[in-house]
Amino acid sequence: MAGYQDLVLRVNLTTGKVATESLNKEWARDFLGGKGLGIKYLYEEVGPGVEALSPENKLIFMTGPFTGTIVPCSGKLGIITKSPLNGYILDCSIGGSAAVEIKRAGYDAVIVEGKSDYPVYLLIEDGQVELKEAGDYWGLCCHDTEEKLKKVYGDDYSVLSIGPAGENLVAYACITSDLYRQAGRGGVGAVMGSKMLKAVVVKGTGAVRAADAKKLMDVTYNAYKNDLLTDTNLWAYTDGTPMIVELSQTTGILPTRNFQQGTFDQFANIKSEAVAAAREAKKGCVSCGLGCGNFTRVGEAVVEGPEYETLSIAGSNCGINDLGAIVKFNANCDAFGLDTISAGGTIAFAMEMTEKGIYDFGIRFGDADKYVELPELIAKREGLGAELALGAKKLAEKYGGIEFAMQVKGLEFPGYDPRGAWGMGLAYATAPRGACHMSAWPVADEAYGEGNPFTIEGKAEMVKDLQHYNAAKFSLILCDFWALSFDIMAEMLSALLGEEVTAQSLEQAGERIFNLARLFNTREGLSAKDDVLPARIHRHPLATGSTEGKTLPEEEFIKMLLEYYSIRGWDNNGVPSGEKLQELGLR
Amino acid sequence: MIIIELRGPLARYGCEHGEKGRIEAKADNGVTVRQILNQVPIPLQHVGLIVVNGKKGSLQTMLSEGDSVVIFPVVAGG
């Protein structure tokens, strides 16, 4: 089948058995690849009640039909597993080059099962696949692991690895690749660590077949020139995500001091121009036409970033106004293998708990010296780090403060305050993995665009549509930063597959994928009671800037949520109806 | 004088005193953001958030002497 390799690599770490099997073509047609196809495999193979950190959970690395082709911005790899935070579906994506190497090695997906008795890494060189003893690597930071492996195998190999945080099963441990890229959210690194899998090392020398290569070249060239390299996408190159700091400050949704404020007095220290001043170079993933990465150096610390989410959640939200400290914190999170968003969110919660006198964690807003040391302590579960490794929700359950533990389903908030973007509140509440900005990003319209941020009108429809759009796009897989239409996606996919794919069918695939994620979660017991926001969003008015006096009132939120369920064809408890499932071919 | 700063890729549409991304204009007769932008070849469909004196504005916002305007491109992703 053009666009796919028709092969899945299955690795059982309990038995050490490595096998290949055909890709399920029917599933590939219905769920595309990446996020969608990964969710489908996990839904079929990991049943309800399985513990996320048990050998019965699986870790799926999934490429998409565009991976390894000339389609730009197609370099991401989907990583799908059951979430250690909440037992729901968890899908992440990671940039860099690993996806292309896996596909060129001949596989659409690598499914890792079971658990090894000792540390191992997986070596894939085209058809040669081997599990290798990784005792010499266990305990190393992500960069050191990758550099050591590349010394053995060469710079042309891609490495996916975990750091000490993943080994120690920290709930928000990430997976790293190409030194500076992360699958950050939800604890995919902890799942990898629970399997004693330190790294995947991969090199592929094959190719991906296009059904109509000339047509694919033509449509891709047009899309590249006329749609990708435009003023709507090129901010990713000129600035990257730090540009969003000033957008959020202006619109009053920049998380500050654990979401106590929506503006930050010292925001100029962390905005795009400050990051640009410390920038040494730009970088993109393989196949990228944009290159959003900023290599930033402050003193000894070097990061590809900091991204907006880090500047906000681990910056203003922790009261940190020193870019150097944020870069250092980011570099430490990357080294030890932690998600900067959940780390920042958890620390901000601990800071507020301390300042309010509810529980003394010994860390206060703006305490940069202590804050930069925390990633290592968290990853090693030492001292204060042992507490912070729990994440904001579990800390609140232990010590109080649940109303201002800024999380949904155990996943800490990213960098947009829903009191100044009411649709974003709905997006956080209904994203399958918890508070997430990758499921839908309505802020682009309601806060940064011409929409009204303080209304529920039209938001249910907007969030639903964006969720379908992202579900389809991240299944193909294309990068978030290319704001392309379903029509262009369909045109490129038709040329690749050699069959007519319509924009409408892609949109429906997005809806199918989103609903399957919901089914995975309802099978685990999720219902409307879980689609909630922390009380602070409903009850504590913001006090500064253009969101002064604003909350997202609970009755408005519930009205918006019920409207959302209704237009989705879900019942009032958030469960998809039989009719909707039939329409989508899910029953 | 009104100073307009163009951000991101929009910076290439303006240049004053050798400073890329900057436009200077006079505040005649309640000039609007749109009227000033019409004087440069900036594609309005790519204009996103408009910030006037630190607050969200629009193409219709009327400007006065001394105002500071920042123009961002439309954004997607995050």
Q: What is the pLDDT along chain A (587 residues), one digit of tens a residue?
A: 999 999 999 999 999 999 999 999 999 999 999 999 999 999 999 999 999 999 999 999 999 999 999 999 999 999 999 999 999 999 999 999 999 999 999 999 999 999 999 999 999 999 999 999 999 999 999 999 999 999 999 999 999 999 999 999 999 999 999 999 999 999 999 999 999 999 999 999 999 999 999 999 999 999 999 999 988 899 999 999 999 999 999 999 999 999 999 999 999 999 999 999 999 999 899 999 899 999 999 988 999 999 999 999 999 999 999 999 999 999 999 999 999 999 999 999 999 999 999 999 999 999 999 999 999 999 999 999 999 999 999 999 999 999 999 999 999 999 999 999 999 999 999 999 999 999 999 999 999 999 999 999 999 999 999 999 999 999 999 999 999 999 999 999 999 999 999 999 999 999 999 999 999 999 999 999 999 999 999 999 999 999 999 999 999 999 999 999 999 999 999 999 999 999 999 98
CA-wise closest residue to B11 among A251, A276, A536: A276
User: In this model, does residue B39 exceed pLDDT 90?
Assistant: no
Contact yes or no for A450 and B58 at CB 8 A: yes
Contact yes or no for B49 and A232 at CB 8 A: no
With contact defined as beta carbons under 8 Å apart, do A330 and A339 qualify? no
Contact yes or no for B8 and A450 at CB 8 A: no
| Residue B66 vs residues A35, A242, A377, B28, B52: alpha-carbon distances, Å | 50, 27, 50, 12, 11
Token pair recorded at residue A497: 């597959």
Contact yes or no for A444 and B78 at CB 8 A: yes
Burial of B20 (0-12, 13-18, 19+ CB in 10 A): exposed
Residue B11 Cα, gap to closest chain A Cα (Å)? 9
CA A43 and chain centroid, separation: 19
With contact defined as beta carbons under 8 Å apart, do A473 and A513 qualify? no
- The whole-number pLDDT of residue B77 equals 59
Mutation site, A247, A273, A470, interface B, largest B CB count within 10 A: A247
Residue A74 Cα, gap to closest chain B Cα (Å)? 15
Token pair recorded at residue A347: 């620390």
Provide the residue type at A25 as one letter.
Answer: K
Contact yes or no for B8 and A546 at CB 8 A: no
Give the three-state DSSP class for A9. strand
Token pair recorded at residue A322: 């020193």
Q: Give me the residue spans of the domains in chain A.
A: 7-203, 235-406, 423-583
Token pair recorded at residue A386: 């042992």
Burial of B18 (0-12, 13-18, 19+ CB in 10 A): exposed
User: In this model, does residue B17 exceed pLDDT 90?
Assistant: no
With contact defined as beta carbons under 8 Å apart, do A322 and A269 qualify? yes
With contact defined as beta carbons under 8 Å apart, do A31 and A441 qualify? no
Residue B27 Cα, gap to closest chain A Cα (Å)? 23
Supply the CATH classification number for the domain A235-406.
1.10.569.10
Minimum CA–CA partner of A309 in chain B: B78
- The whole-number pLDDT of residue B78 equals 45
Residue-wise burial string across A310-332, b where 16 or more C-beta atoms lie within 10 A, e elsewhere:
bbbbbbbbbbbbbbbbbbbbbbb
Token pair recorded at residue A104: 């060129």
CA distance A586 to A184: 29
The ipTM is 0.94
CA distance A509 to A475: 9
Contact yes or no for A238 and B8 at CB 8 A: yes
**Chain B contacts to A (CB-CB under 8 A):** 7-11, 43, 46, 48-49, 51, 54-56, 58, 70, 72-78
Provide the residue type at A255 as one letter.
Answer: P
Q: Is A247 on the interface with B (CB under 8 A)?
A: yes
Q: How many contiguous H segments (helices) and E segments (strands) does chain A have?
A: 24, 17
CA distance A321 to A263: 12
CA-wise closest residue to A93 among A47, A60, A44: A60
Residue B74 Cα, gap to closest chain A Cα (Å)? 5
Domain A423-583: which CATH class?
mainly alpha
Contacts of B72 in chain A (CB under 8 A): 235, 243, 246-247, 448
Minimum CA–CA partner of A236 in chain B: B8
**Residues in contact with A369: Cβ distance below 8 Å, sequence separation at least 6, in sequence order:** none
CA distance A518 to A274: 41
Sort residue A489 into left (φ over 0), alpha (ψ -120 to 50) or beta: alpha
Contacts of A185 in chain B (CB under 8 A): none
Contacts of B8 in chain A (CB under 8 A): 231, 234-235, 238-239, 243
Number of neighbouring beta carbons within 10 Å of residue A362: 10
Contacts of B56 in chain A (CB under 8 A): 250-251, 546
Minimum CA–CA partner of A234 in chain B: B9
CA-wise closest residue to A427 among A449, A450, A453, A394: A453
In chain A the first and final C-alpha atoms are separated, in Å, by 25
Mutation site, A73, A76, A231, interface B, largest B CB count within 10 A: A231
Minimum CA–CA partner of B13 in chain A: A231
CA A105 and chain centroid, separation: 25
**Angle formed by the axes of helices A323-336 and A340-355, to 10°?**
120
Residue-wise burial string across A257-282, b where 16 or more C-beta atoms lie within 10 A, e elsewhere:
bbbbbbbbeebebbbbebbeebbeee
A-B CB pairs within 8 A amount to: 85
Give the three-state DSSP class for A346. helix
Residue A360 Cα, gap to closest chain B Cα (Å)? 34
Minimum CA–CA partner of B69 in chain A: A250
Contact yes or no for B7 and A272 at CB 8 A: yes
Q: Using a CB cutoff of 8 Å and minimum separation of 24, what contacts does A499-505 make? A: A499/A211
Compute the 3-state secondary structure of chain A and give helix, strand, coil in percent, each to the nearest 5. Answer: 45, 15, 40
Contacts of A234 in chain B (CB under 8 A): 8-9, 73
Residue A466 Cα, gap to closest chain B Cα (Å)? 11
With contact defined as beta carbons under 8 Å apart, do A12 and A113 qualify? yes
Q: Is A233 on the interface with B (CB under 8 A)?
A: yes
Within a 13 Å sphere around the CA of A19, how many CA atoms are in the beta-carbon half?
7
Q: In which order are the strands placed within the sheet that holds A293-298? A: A279-283, A293-298, A301-304
Domain A7-203: which CATH class?
alpha beta
Provide the residue type at A403 as one letter.
Answer: E
Q: Is A308 on the interface with B (CB under 8 A)?
A: yes
Listed by number, the residues of chain A in 364-423 with a beta carbon closer than 8 Å to a beta carbon of chain B are: 414
CATH topology of domain B2-73: Ubiquitin-like (UB roll) (3.10.20)
Q: Is A511 on the interface with B (CB under 8 A)?
A: no
Contacts of A414 in chain B (CB under 8 A): 78
Token pair recorded at residue A388: 């912070």
